[in-house]
Amino acid sequence: MKKLLGISLMVLSASAFADSYTGPKGLTVGVGYSMGTFDPDEGSSFDLSAVQFRLGNELNQNFAVRFDYLIGTGEESKSIGGIDYKLELDSAFSLLLQPKLALNEKVEAYGLIGFTSASFTASASNAFASQSEENSDTSLSYGAGIGGNIKDNIGAYAEYVSYIQEDDYDFGGLNLGVTFGF
C-alpha cells in the first residue's frame, strides 16, 4: 500500500516534466473485458471473467475520478473430492481515484486507488445435496495501468486492479478495453 502511494506521488510530481497526453480527456466512457481471479487462501483459484463499464472525469491533466461497473459473464466450475463447486461474479462497483502521468503525447501511465463492492454466488453439490450462497464484500482497491491514444477522443487501456482483499480470499483482474472522450 505504501509503495502504491509513493508511486502515485512520484507520478504527480514528475508530471510537471512530462509531455501532454492527447488521448480522451474530460468526461470519458469505456468498455472492456476483465480477466479476473478469485483466489481463496485455501484451495484452488477460480477464473472469473466480466464485462467492464467505465465512467470517468478528468479533473486536470494529472488526476481523474472513475466509476467502474463489472458484470460477470459466467461461472467457473471445479470438481474436488466428489463435490462440484461453482463460483460466479455477479457484479462489482468501484469508485477509483486515478493519478496519472503522460509518458508522451500518445501514452500515459496511471495508478488507481479507491473502494470496490463486489457480490459473488457460490454453490457446492454432490449426488445427495446442494447448497448455494451469495456473498458481498467491500474493500480498498488499488492498481496500475497504461492508456494509449488511438485517434482523437478514442483510447485503449490495459490495467491490473486488485478489487477485493479479504481475510479468506482476494479478487483482482487484468482489464483491457477502449475509452471514448466527450
C-alpha distances in Å from residue 175, one per residue of 19, 105, 129: 25, 22, 37
* Reduced DSSP (H G I as helix, E B as strand, rest coil) percent helix, strand, coil of the chain, to 5: 10, 70, 20
**Comparing C-alpha atoms, which of 132, 107, 120 is closest to residue 23?**
107
Q: For each of the chain's 182 residues, which pLDDT tens digit applies?
A: 555 445 444 444 444 444 566 666 789 999 999 999 999 998 889 999 999 999 999 999 899 999 999 999 989 998 888 889 999 999 999 999 999 999 998 999 999 999 999 999 999 998 888 899 999 999 999 999 999 999 988 999 999 999 999 999 999 999 999 999 98
Cα(60)–Cα(97) distance, integer angstroms: 12
Q: Please give the grid coordinates belonging to residue 151.
A: 485517434
User: 144 forms bridges with which residues in the sheet?
Assistant: 111, 160
| Residue 1 per-residue DSSP state | -
Domain total for the chain?
Answer: 1
Q: Please give the grid coordinates belonging to residue 9.
A: 506521488
Specify the CATH number for the domain of residue 139. Answer: 2.40.160.20
Q: Give 110-147 as a DSSP string.
A: EEEEEEEEEEEEEEEE-SS-EEEEEEEEEEEEEEEEEE
Print the domain residue range for 34.
Answer: 2-181
With 0.95 as the threshold, say if the pTM is over it.
no
